A and B are shown apart, each in its own frame.
Chain A
Amino acid sequence: MSHDHDHDNELDPFAARVRALETILTQKGLIDPAAIDVIVDTYETKIGPRNGARVVAKAWSDPAYAEWLKRDATAAIASLSYTGRQGEHMQAVFNTKDTHNLVVCTLCSCYPWSVLGLPPVWYKAPPYRSRAVIDPRGVLEEFGLTLPADKKIRVWDSTAELRYLVVPMRPEGTEGWSEERLAELVSRDAMIGTGLAQRPEIEGQPA
């Protein structure tokens, strides 16, 4: 495509192909352009890692909920109205003092959309997909997370049918906190396993 003069308007080839598909599929009655806009808006603004953070905070606060989440994450998460569109099953994997969990999709980019929104760029990129399984400790170090040598790292490879949510360990010094306040400590990366839950800032005390 030449860029040596001003165009009135130009669609790049990918944009033109997407419009072409949309036109053809709309003509066949397979999609409705208004519904497409709703889906885009939902994923851009309404679904995101705050959903997952609420699941984690509830599990930290409510042992019965944590037990349910462990046993049947799909139902426990659906009870908070976060349901997957692809009919996928969810499994919650809990970090412990002995084991750290890390989620990847080596096949493509399966991800628990209903609780984390859409995946970050690095999750979909070849280096993470190929190395998380082979060298999880090295990968975590690149994320700035150095785990003790005796801590086991368990890597979970997502599929179209089964997606994982990491439940990080609850930080010390958060006794009596509300679920809302706890949820603020839970980052997206902590629920993928490339980070930990944030520690509370303690005023006037040495770190």
Chain B
Amino acid sequence: MSRRDSDMADLPPDTPVFAEPWQAEAFAMTVALHDKGVFSWSEWADALSAQVKKPGAATDGHDYYEHWLAALESLLASKGLAARADVDAMAEAWERAAHATPHGKPILLENDPGP
């Protein structure tokens, strides 16, 4: 059998569908927002397609949910539902809350000590 530049046999065979919890959450949020009628599935496929076709996507597909998240953010921003600056600020609050939370305790946004 010939070997090729981007050999699919090199891909991990059957890794779990979600490598990390945030990937499952990003996926589920998308499904929930569609159920709620926030966007059509065609709109979603267009947004995801725009991200995955950007140059530099990993051939092993490990960055797939990073594209997924970028697609979700851009779609929500374009609909005026979550402006990029608001998401940035809220993400920073979550990171501060994580740092302020002792190990082993659940990370809560209330733990954010503020900037």
Q: By the criterion of a CB under 8 Å from any partner CB, how many residues of chain A are at the interface? A: 58
Query: Does A18 lie within 8 Å of B26, measured CB to CB?
Result: yes
Interface string of A118-146 (1 = CB under 8 A from B): 11111011111001000000110111000
The complex places the Cα of A126 from the Cα of B51 at a distance, in Å, of 12
Query: Does A121 lie within 8 Å of B99, measured CB to CB?
Result: no
Chain A residues within 8 Å of B94, by CB: 11, 16, 19-20, 23
State whether the Cβ of A30 lies closer than 8 Å to any Cβ in chain B: yes
Query: Does A24 lie within 8 Å of B101, measured CB to CB?
Result: no
B31 to nearest A CB, angstroms?
5
State whether the Cβ of A172 lies closer than 8 Å to any Cβ in chain B: no
- Contacts A11-B107, A24-B90 given; does A125 touch B11 at CB 8 Å: yes
State whether the Cβ of A161 lies closer than 8 Å to any Cβ in chain B: yes
- Contacts A7-B99, A30-B33, A127-B6 given; does A21 touch B59 at CB 8 Å: no
**Nearest chain-B residue to A125 (Cβ)?**
B61
Chain A residues within 8 Å of B57, by CB: 126
State whether the Cβ of A177 lies closer than 8 Å to any Cβ in chain B: no
Chain B residues within 8 Å of A117, by CB: 17
A25 to nearest B CB, angstroms?
7
- Contacts A14-B69, A24-B87, A107-B49 given; does A120 touch B14 at CB 8 Å: yes
- Contacts A25-B82, A138-B4 given; does A88 touch B28 at CB 8 Å: no
B16 to nearest A CB, angstroms?
8
Chain B residues within 8 Å of A160, by CB: 41-42, 44-45
Chain B residues within 8 Å of A85, by CB: 31, 34-35
The complex places the Cα of A23 from the Cα of B66 at a distance, in Å, of 19
Query: Does A110 lie within 8 Å of B45, measured CB to CB?
Result: yes
In the assembled complex, 7 residue pairs joining A and B whose CB atoms fall closer than 8 Å, in A order, are: A10-B98, A21-B72, A40-B28, A109-B52, A120-B14, A139-B8, A141-B1
